[in-house]
Amino acid sequence: MKGVGAVFRRELASYFATPLATVFIVIFLFAMGAFTFYLGGFYDNGQASLAIFFSFHPWLYLFLIPAIAMRLWAEERKSGTLELLLTLPIPLNAAVVGKFLAAWVFAGIALALTFPMWITVNFLGSPDNGVILASYVGSWLMAGGYLAIGSAVSAGTNNQVIAFVVSVVISFLFTIAGAPLVMDTLSAILPLELQNTISSFSFLTHFNAIMAGVIDLRDLVFFGTLIAFFLYVTSVLIDLRKAG
């Protein structure tokens, strides 16, 4: 798509032009380590596995990813640069996709920097590296889902705090939709078919399936469709802003 590369390079460079990238990556890595080794009792587990490490990803992403996404469009609207961006000879869809991909790659860089965890678990034992690789892929796809939601919310407001809070709330609903506590509650009031439908929208349901070591087409379709849908919503909201 024409213009995606230009927007992507501009946005990705902007992350590293300020302390934002360093601060986010340091917080991300510190939180991952603290949750895994202290709250998760990594060494007490007695198994050469990163299951504990990955089990915290949805809950950390729930707050950290919206922190990235809140600036995607809200900052452009607040600073008045959105109008300038929309006057450039770049299709709106290209701008939306380019900004999203830059944020997704940035999140992927932060995720990739956790590779010492993979090295550590291989030093301590003989883990199933196929499962670990699948979990990394699933984690990055899930981060993309959170980012797409945050992008759409950010496009609807010029207040980054509001964008952050609303993104967290919506992402939380998508995260817990398939949680056992939610399913047990819904089982008393909803038929099984509707319960399964609600569960199918859960990030936990699809991420846990990938963590089992199998990247099922249904999980790929879910995250791909969700990302595409919320990027479409982003485009619609920006277009409405442009028309207004």
Would you state the pLDDT for residue 157? 84
- Under 8 Å CB-to-CB from 197, ≥6 apart: which residues? none
Domain residue extents for the chain:
4-243
Instruction: Please list, residue by residue across 116-138, b when 16 or more beta carbons sit within 10 angstroms of its beta carbon and e when fewer do.
Output: ebbebbeeeeebeeebbebbbeb
More confident residue, 189 or 169: 169
Q: Are 112 and 104 in contact (CB under 8 A)?
A: no
pLDDT of 160 higher than 90: no
Mean of the pLDDT values across residues 232-236?
93
Q: pLDDT tens digits, residue range 171-211? A: 998 998 877 777 777 777 777 777 777 778 889 889 988 99
Would you state the pLDDT for residue 151? 93
Q: pLDDT tens digits, residue range 44-99? A: 666 767 888 898 999 999 999 998 888 888 776 666 666 666 666 778 888 899 99
pLDDT of 25 higher than 70: yes
For residue 85 the two structure tokens come to 């961006």
